[in-house]
Amino acid sequence: MTSGTTTPAPTPTVDWAAVRADFPFLERRIDGEPLVYLDSAATSQKPRQVIEAMASSAACGYGPINRSAYRLAGEATDRYEGARAAVARFVNAPAAHEMIFTKNATESINVVAGAWGRANLGAGDVVVLTHMEHHANIVPWQMLAADRGIEIRWVPLTDDGQLDLTDLDALLDGAKLFSFTAMSNVLGTLPPVAQLCRAAHDAGALTLVDACQFVPHNATDVQAWDADFVVFSAHKMCGPSGIGLLWGREALLDEMPPFLGGGNMIGNVTLDGFTTAPLPDKFEAGTPPITEAVGLGAAVEFLETIGMDAVRRHEMDLTRYALDTLGQRYGSDLVVHGPSNVEVRGGVLSFAFRDLHPHDVSQVLDERNVCVRAGHHCAKPLMRLLGANATARASFYVYNTTDDVDALAEALDGATDIFGL
Ligand SMILES: Cc1ncc(COP(=O)(O)O)c(C=O)c1O
């Protein structure tokens, strides 16, 4: 057993048509036809609650954070800190001040590599990664390897795209950090996060969980995981781009040096040096993403209103339907990478279709208004293991329906016609 199941308990029925009605992009027509957006693993669409919260805050509630005594600034600060509290609650973080706003998940990982890593890792120290990581969770460690001579070890994959944990204990032996994804952006695989954190801690290593694909689609509990650092991005969870999250245990964040220096992150500055502000300001140098934080707070409330167990269940249903529909229609002509069991995968389907290049597939689908991603998905080491330069990838979210899956299947027929297959 190498993956984590995240099957939720039964939840009250959600009115998914009403959820769709909250997304203005669904009113858009191209060539008179609606859009079928199947690229939420790259970035999600925004509901009107998020758009309106950001617009109203930018229009009449905008002001600086933390540095002024007047009421407008106070209100802006309250909204900014309210968003922090909301997102901390959303992932069950013990305290809001452990939740750091960054630019995106990539920057969050760079904060850990650049601040914790530089303070704690030297030549020969080991960081363990997996073969299914996004470049965001590879390159910062490779930069540290080049700079500091750390060793990187890799957890391999099974044939069905799960983590092969056979030699995990040996890989973790002597390691300082195990940094791994909670859900693959290519395979959809859901590794068993709590089990991996336990194994890392038993070996004396800390953990960083890249929850970029997990948090938007599943109920998340960083305390139940017993993780040390968790990162994710607002733009994949119905929020805006430009704001990401780093949650870390307070003691670790307190011990770490700051990552960026400048305004807001200082306690005091003299000609001889500086002291750092308490958390979270210590890691939020400069003017932060003020309006984006408001959007993130609204996104959290929007998802909480639906309920994350319901979101997970909806996506399991869509994924099952897609695997069945595409399997019945195209048989071995369409290969979906990753586990076939929806209990251990999320709503991300990377596929090869006949011998068509994924970019051609994506372009033909676009002519039918079906938006799928084609490329290496920032996971080139994994692509090499799959024996592909690229895949086409369809991914689901709260605004997708089985009609969207049918539209994808029918549009693939179009690709068959065009290329005469
Ligand atoms: C698993 C995973 N990690 C990290 C990232 C990086 O996220 P961002 O570009 O928001 O920093 C992504 C983005 O696709 C991802 O899918």
* Pocket flag, ligand 1, residue 319 (CB < 6 Å): no
pLDDT at 176 over 60: yes
What is the number of structural domains in the chain?
Answer: 2
Confidence of residue 376 (pLDDT cuts 50, 70, 90): very high
Residue-level pLDDT at 414: 82
pLDDT at 3 over 60: no
Task: Give the span between the Cα atoms of 252 and 224, in whole angstroms.
Answer: 18
* Pocket flag, ligand 1, residue 44 (CB < 6 Å): no
Range of the domain at 317: 16-46+307-418
* Pocket flag, ligand 1, residue 106 (CB < 6 Å): yes
Task: Give the span between the Cα atoms of 71 and 107, in whole angstroms.
Answer: 32
Please report whether residue 5 resides in a domain.
Answer: no
CATH number at residue 252: 3.40.640.10
Same domain, 322 and 208: no
Q: How much distance in Å is there from the Cα of 107 to the middle of ligand 1?
A: 10
Confidence of residue 1 (pLDDT cuts 50, 70, 90): very low
Digit-coded pLDDT (tens) for 71-108: 999 999 999 999 999 999 999 999 999 999 999 999 99
Residue-level pLDDT at 119: 98
Q: How much distance in Å is there from the Cα of 102 to the middle of ligand 1?
A: 13
Q: Among 248, 282, 304, where does a domain finish?
A: 304
Q: Whose CA is nearest to atom 7 of ligand 1?
A: 105
Rounded to the nearest angstrom, the gap between the alpha carbon of residue 411 and the centroid of all alpha carbons in its chain is 28
Tokens found for residue 158: 């099974």
Residues 390, 243, 398, 336, Cα dihedral to 10°: 20
**Least confident segment among 1-10, 122-131, 167-176, 285-294:** 1-10
How many other CB atoms are found less than 10 A from the CB of residue 286? Answer: 10
* Pocket flag, ligand 1, residue 112 (CB < 6 Å): no
Same domain, 299 and 316: no
Q: How much distance in Å is there from the Cα of 283 to the middle of ligand 1?
A: 20
Residue-level pLDDT at 66: 81
> Which of 179, 233, 236, 237 to mutate for ligand 1's pocket (most ligand atoms within 8 Å of CB)?
233
Same domain, 319 and 338: yes
Same domain, 221 and 357: no
Digit-coded pLDDT (tens) for 326-360: 999 999 999 999 999 999 999 999 999 999 999 99
Same domain, 318 and 377: yes
Same domain, 337 and 323: yes
